[in-house]
C-alpha cells in the first residue's frame, strides 16, 4: 500500500508541475517559452480559471497524500 501511495504522490506532483507551467500569470507562462510576450495582468477566465482551480485541488490531494504517508505505519 505504501508503494501505491508513493507512486500516486509522484504522479500528482508531476501533474501539478505541468499545470503550473501552463498557467499564464505575469511572465506569460508556457507561452513565453515559445516567443509569446507577457501582456498586462488580467482576471482569470474560462480555461485559465479551470486550470487554476484544478491546480489547487491537486495541491490539496498532494498534501493529503503526504500527511497520509507521514502517519502510515
What confidence tens digit (pLDDT) does each residue in 16-26 have?
999 999 886 65
Q: pLDDT tens for residues 54-73?
A: 999 999 999 999 999 999 86
pTM here is 0.71
- In this structure, are residues 5 and 69 in contact, taking their beta carbons and an 8 Å threshold? yes
15 contacts: CB under 8 Å, gap ≥ 6: 58
Amino acid at each position: 500500500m505504501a508503494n501505491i501511495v508513493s507512486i500516486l504522490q509522484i504522479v500528482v506532483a508531476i501533474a501539478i508541475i505541468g499545470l503550473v507551467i501552463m498557467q499564464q500569470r505575469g511572465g506569460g507562462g508556457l507561452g513565453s517559452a515559445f516567443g509569446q510576450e507577457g501582456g498586462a495582468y488580467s482576471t482569470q477566465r474560462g480555461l485559465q480559471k479551470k486550470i487554476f482551480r484544478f491546480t489547487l485541488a491537486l495541491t490539496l490531494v498532494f498534501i493529503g497524500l503526504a500527511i497520509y504517508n507521514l502517519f502510515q505505519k
